[in-house]
Every structure is written in C-alpha cells, then in structure tokens.
Structure 1
Amino acid sequence: MTITMPENQGGGSPLSMAFRGRTFLSLRRSQVVSMEQGQEQELDLFQTHVADRLLALLPPSNVGGGGEPPLSLAFLSKLLDALIACEEEFRSLLGQNHASLLSKPPADRAVADLLDRAVKSLDVCNAVSLALRSLRHWHRHALIAASALPSDHCGQGQLNRARRALAKLLASGPDSPSAASGRYDGSSGRSSGSSNHMRALSWSVSRNWSAGRQMPPVPAHLATPRGGEAGGAGMALAVYAMSSVLSFSMWVLAAAVPCQDRGSAAPSSPVSPRQHLPWAAAMAGLQDRITDEWRRRKGLAGLLAEIQGVEQCGKELMEAVGESGPPPSRAEDVAARAAELAEACRRLEEGLGPLERQVREVFHRVIGNRAEVLRCVDHSARTAATTPNPPLLSQ
C-alpha cells in the first residue's frame, strides 16, 4: 500500500524557508541589540557609582581651606574604601559578559594604560607601607615626651627625658632635613633616616625609586568611538574610570604620607577627565582641594593632618619646657601642652593600624584585578582566534 505524504509536510516551499530564515535573523539581531543595550546600561551604572563614591569624599561645602583638613586618616580611609568598592564592581563587570569588550578598540588602549598604572600603584603601596612603619618609630618619641610630663610638678629627670625625646622627635620628623635626605632601601627593609626594621608588602622598593615619577598624568581623552565600536567604547570609559580612581588614590597617598623623594612642589593633577563624564566634576573638585593644600604647605614632606598635629604639639611643648626647664609659674602650661601632645599621639596611633591594613588590602586587590584583566584579555584573544566565520545562509 502506497502512503501519500501531504504536500505541506515534505520540505516546505522556498518562500516558506526564506521567511523562516529572515525571522530567525531578525530574532537573533533583536537578541544581540538587547544584550548590547543591557551591557551599556551596566557600564553606565558603573560610571554613576564612581561619581557617587567620589562625591561622598567631598566636604558638605567644597570651599578650600574651610572645615576639616583635606588630608586626614579619616579621609584616607574613606578614599581607600571607595577605591576597593570600585575595584569590586569593576571586577564583577568582567564576569557579566563584558570581558570580550576589553579587546575591542578603544578599550584595548585603555586596558594597556590600566595594566601599567596597576604596576606603578603596587610600588606606591609598598613605599607608603614602609613610610607608615617608619612613622611608628617616630611616634614613640612623642609618646615618651608626653608620658614624661604627666603632672603639674615634674622633676629635673623627667624634664631631661622629655627634652631628649622631643629633640629626637623634631630631628627625625617627616619634615626634618634628616628625613628629607633619608631613602627607603627595600632590599634591606630599612630606612637610612631610621634604624627600625621595616618589611615591604611584597617586592622591594629600589634605591632610586621616586613617588613623584610613578604618577604621570592619565591620558585626558579616549579615542572617540565609531558606530561599530559602541561596546568597546563603553568598556573603554569604564576602564578609564577605574584607572583614574586608582591613579588619584595613589597620588593622594603620596601627598599624605612622607614617601621617598616625593618632592615638595605640588604636581599637576593626575586625572583630566572629559567634562561630560558623570564623575568628572567630583574628581576635579577633589584634586583642586588637595593641590591647594599641597601648595599652601609647600616644603612639607607629608600632608597628613595627624602627622602635622603631632609635630606641631611637639614644637610647642619644646618651647614650653625651655632649655633650663620651665619656671614654677608655667608648670600648668607644660602639663597642658603634654596633654595635647598625648592626644595628638592617640589620634595618630588609632588610625595608623587600620590604614596599614587598608593599604595592604588595596595592594592585593590590585594584583588580583590586574591578573583578572590579563586573563580576560587572553581568553578574548584566544576565543577570537578559534571562532570560525559563520556560514552564509542559503537563499
């Protein structure tokens, strides 16, 4: 018995096959456009979050010279928290189908800049870590001086002990001539201006390393993307934002903490973003505020408010003690100055430990994120090399 198949169940007409092909292509094209729009929205959201974190660092009224000092342990803590948050969000972007965009122009050029800046940031973190350890040794002199004058009536022995400690404090301070000429020798873990042993975070800091040379300006403009490079352009701006926040953070650390050969002249701002970027205004405001402080206190090796507070209290206490000891009428003034120095020491000591831990965390996060970017770039390159060209649909 012969079975006859219906005509519409055989292979279909050529017109039907063409319609199905066009429908499939339209659906696929719509999916690609929808995915690209979603990627762009995620990248734009990252830019907005960077702006929010930088705005949170500005004082309520951005007036230079007013309010709290622009460089303090509290400010550095908030800055490094913002940097870590940006690093986390940027790394999450790489795991959300954005990694393939790293190899597209102009993102590839922004990635090369980020990788180079990450290596220099590791050197800055290392130098800052060594400087913070050196500050602990310097800080002990201030503690000795403050504890030697605890009451209104001090004996000659206590006065002599306090004077010796104050002399060492002022002679080895961050802004003293001996500290300015001292260099951190990473190979031995010691500073030529201090005898205490210091351990770097990972590798050593070379003898001729300079904090100032680690922060050349970030390129002010990215290449204008073309129509076919929309995905790469959005990713380029995200990479540029991450590179800018990292560069700015290292610039602030080098300004606040007395690093090797930092120089006293205020350098140019490290970031010059295009004005249309959401975080450009906040970045410009922060850089102007810190640059003004740098110029106002020209000649100082470190601008951290707590360091300057300890040194100023030490100078005032030294003047109050005098060469031959204070007269009985000034005993209360000496005790008050000693109490101020003890309070300044407390503020510095409370912030040094957390700041050291944050610098260490930033160091390891920069290493991890740099490795992740390199992995994504390598994976994208290998995928592009092994992906065959799609076959042409028969009409």
Structure 2
Amino acid sequence: MPSTDFQESSSSPSSFNLSILSRRRDQVHSMDSPPLESNGQQSDLEAFQRTVAERFQDLAAAPSEELLSIPWIRKLLDTFLCVHEEFRLIVFNHKSSLAKPPMDKYITDFFERSVKALDVCNAIRDGIEQIRHWQKQLEIVLCALDNQRSIGEGQFRRAKKALIDLTIAMLDERDSNTTVSHRNRSFGRQSNSRAEPRSMANFRSLSWSVSRTWSAARQLQAISSNLAPPRGNEISATNGLNVGVFTMSYVLLFVMWALVAAIPCQDRGLPTHLFTRQFAWAAPIGSLYERIMEESKRRDRRNTCGLMREIYEIEKCVRLMNELTDCVEFPLTEERERQVKQRVQEIGKIYEAIKEGLDPLERLVREVFRRIVRSRTEGLDSIARANLQD
C-alpha cells in the first residue's frame, strides 16, 4: 500500500481536516434529520478524534533512528494510555446510550477485542524477559573485557563463550517464530526451522505465560476481525458514538501490531491490508505503518526476531565482535587490542540502553494490561446498571 494513500491535505495537528464524524454530522443536518443527542456528546467525540490525531502525529514525527527504539515504544504506550483514558470517560459519561441497540453490540465487540489484547501483552512481557537473558550475556562480555589494562587469553575465552551463547539464543528465537505456522505474513521467516534445543524448550515451558501453540499473528487477526469503518446510517443511528468505539478499536489494533513487530514473540506477523485512511488520525498511523513495514523489509532486518532498535544494535555488535574474535591471536597487538576495546565500548552503550529502558517498558506494558482489565470491568458494570435503570 503506497504511503501517498495516507496523505492528508494538512501538515500539522492543528490544521487536520474535520473528522468523518463531523462531516457525517453536517450531512445529516443538511438532510433535515434530527440533530445528535447532545452538543456535549458531540464535543466529547470530536475532542477524542483530535487527541488521537495529535498524539499519533507526534509519534510519526520521530526520525528513523528513534523509530521502534525503547524510548519510542514507551511513548507509544503512553499515547495508548492517554487515548484509552479519554475513551473510558466517554464510555462512563454516555453509558445510557451505549447500553441501547445497536451501540451495545459495538461496545461489546470492543471489550472482546480488549480481552484478546491481554494475551498480546503477556506475550510481549515474555519477549522483554527474553531480551533480559540476552542482556546478561552482554554483561558477561563487559565484565571480561571492559576496563581492563590488558586483555588476557582467559578473559577473551570467557567473552567469546558469552557471545556464542548469545548468538545461539537469538537464532533460536528467530526459528521459534516459524514453529507455529508457515503461512504468508509480514514478519518472521518462512523457512523450515531446526529442532529446538532442550535448554531453550525448558526455558519456554517454565517462563512463558502463553501456550507454545499460541500465535501472535492469529491473535492480531482476531482483534482485527470485522473491524470496519462505520457507515453514515450507522453513525446516525448511534449518534456518532460508534465512531469513537471504532477509533479506540483501531488504536488498540495498531498498538498491539507495533508491539508484535518490535518485540520477540511467537509467530509474529499480520496481513498488510487492514489499515484505513478515512479519518484525520489515519494519516499519521498510516505513515507509521508504512515505515515499520519498510523497516521489516530491509535486508539486515528481514530475519530478525524483533524490529526493536536495540535488538538490531545487539545483533550488529555481536556480529562485528564475533568477526573480530575469530581472527585474534595472542598476545594481542596494540592495534588489535584497540579494535577490541572499541567494540566493547559499543556493546557497553547498547547494554546501558537496555538496562535503563527495559524495566520502565515492562511497567508500561503491565499498566496497559491493568487499564484494559479495569476499563472493561467498569464499562460492563456501568452498562449493566444503565440497563437496570431503564
């Protein structure tokens, strides 16, 4: 899908075109149909549309070197939490309308999608734990080689073993993405995977919170199932509330999709035809979608176990360090020792980035999980009480 399909006539958040909700409202009024239920409701929904557009416009402005980095992913999750909180208030303030047909079906479908997103959050937390295991191998390399006046053969052997273990672990993670299914998908490989080592199988069985047959691709497809932009007559019938529900459903899908693209998890992937361009927020989300897809098609990213920027840096540092250590002879020459120390400094930078970023990232994923659970419970209870009052 070409990126030009997502372009809007404006270039800044403040100058976005009116949302489809506003355009539909004008069309309805021009046909002498009854106005929307209340100006307050209309104002809430339009403010929600603007929030989504502005937040994702900010995310889309990130330069290439920041896209899919840990700080950017944290910003994405902050955006989701902000948007989700505003949507939660809409649900609370208009629960009587949401309890009536046909809106009850729209909101129930959204809550079902939210439940499916919880599994994605669990898989992402597992992926973060996997990255922590890689971080420990990087730490071994740094302990062996960093801040040493001179590098001895024993220290080098220790670092070399850690690098080999890390390389094998990352290759195992790549291959695990193909053990569930081999259908066409956006991320991961489609080649036959080799048998999983016993040590890795034991690790998965003890620490992974989703089933070994669980598939991120299938879960994302379930979230996107029957997710279509509402039509004009549907918007009129629901006083525009279904546009708000569709917007939140779409944000939920995109955020889960981006997490799966970035962080290791089972059977990563998603068909490429699910994204709309009918709303003001479609331009920045569409731009991000295109950029992430282009990243996944790069030769050096095509077979990676995750598109997170820091994973790419780990792979690059390990590859260069392995190439260097393969041709080392002792005692080290001054030039060779300088090269080794330069590579160690690069490993140190990526180690610090991961060490500082993973814990806050995991806390945000946990918070997304909790907010989804709490909002669903509150929403269903509010709607049930509204039904009793009627």
- TM bucket (normalised to shorter chain) is 0.7 to 0.9
Residues 356 and 177 (structure 1), Cα distance of their counterparts in 2 relative to 1, 3 Å cut: closer
Deviation for aligned residue 1:113: 2.6
1:84-130 Cα shifts (integer Å, max 9, x gaps): 0011111112232x112213455334313311210111000001111
TM-align CA RMSD: 2.7
Partner of 2:271: 267
Q: Which structure exhibits the higher relative contact order, with contacts defined as CA atoms closer than 8 Å and separated by 6 or more residues?
A: 2
1:206 paired residue among 206, 211, 233 = 211
The whole-number CA distance in structure 1 between the counterparts of 2:60 and 2:274 is 18
**Structure 2 Cα separation of the partners of residues 250 and 333 of structure 1:** 41
Conserved? CA contact 1:172–1:178, under 8 Å:
no
CA deviations over 1:182-238 (Å, ceiling 9, x no partner): 89xxxxxx99457389767xxx42221101111123523214336962xx2411111
Q: Distance in 1 between matches of 2:199 and 2:284?
A: 37
Higher Rg: 1
Within the candidate set 88, 92, 96, 1:95 is matched to: 92
Contact 1:152 1:331 in 2 (8 A): no
- Cα distance in 1, alignment partners of residues 283 and 53 from structure 2: 8
Alignment of 1:67 with 2:64, yes or no, is yes
Does the 8 A contact of 2:68 with 2:308 survive in 1?
yes
What is the distance in 1 between the residues matched to 2:36 and 2:349? 59
Residue 161 of structure 1 corresponds to 158
Residue 127 in structure 1 maps to residue 97 in structure 2: no
Q: For residues 228 and 371 of structure 2, what CA distance do their matches in structure 1 show?
A: 25
- Whether the 8 Å contact between 2:177 and 2:265 is mirrored in structure 1 is no
Residue 28 of structure 1 is matched in structure 2 by none
Residue of structure 1 equivalent to 2:76: 79
Structure 1 counterpart SS, 2:233: coil
Give 1:311's aligned residue: 315
Using the TM superposition, give the Cα deviation of residue 373 of structure 1 relative to its aligned residue in structure 2, in angstroms: 2.1
Q: Which residue identity lines up with residue 243 of structure 1 in the other structure?
A: S
Query: Who is 1:215 aligned against?
Result: 220
Q: Residues 367 and 281 (structure 1 numbering): CA distance in 2 closer, same or farther, change over 3 Å?
A: same
| Alpha-carbon offset, residue 324 of structure 1 | 4.8
Unpaired runs of at least 5, structure 1: 1-31, 61-65, 184-189, 385-395
Given that residues 119 and 210 in structure 2 are in contact (C-alpha distance below 8 angstroms), is that contact kept between their aligned partners in structure 1? yes
Q: 1:272-328, CA deviations, whole angstroms, 9 ceiling, x for partnerless residues?
A: 25x2x2212122111111121122222222000011111211111111122554641
Contact 1:80 1:249 in 2 (8 A): yes
Aligned residue for 2:232, secondary structure, equals coil
C-alpha distance 241-127 of structure 1, shift in aligned 2 (>3 A) = same
Residue aligning to 2:325: 321
**Distance in 2 (alpha carbons) for counterparts of 1:110 and 1:301:** 35
Deviation at 1:162, TM superposition (A): 0.7
Q: CA deviation at 1:344?
A: 0.9
Contact 1:163 1:321 survives alignment (8 Å): yes
Pick aligned residue for 2:136 from 140, 147, 169: 140
For the residues of structure 1 that align with 2:46 and 2:206, how far apart are their CA atoms?
43
Compute the TM-score of the two structures, normalised by the length of structure 1.
0.77
Q: What is residue 355 of structure 1 aligned with on the other side?
A: 361
Secondary structure of the residue aligned to 2:67 is: coil
Structure 2, unmatched stretches of 5+, are 1-33, 181-197
Letter in 2 for 1:141: Q
Indicate the larger mover: 157-166 or 281-290. 281-290
Residue type of the alignment partner of 2:72: F
The match for 1:302 is 306
Please tell me the residue identity of whatever aligns with 1:76. Answer: I
Which deviations, in whole Å up to 9, do the C-alpha atoms of 1:337-389 show, x marking residues without a partner?
A: 011111111111111000000000000000011112212332333333xxxxx
The percent identity for this pair of structures is 36
Aligned length: 332
Distance 1:199 1:172 in 2: 15
Local SS of the residue matching 1:208? coil
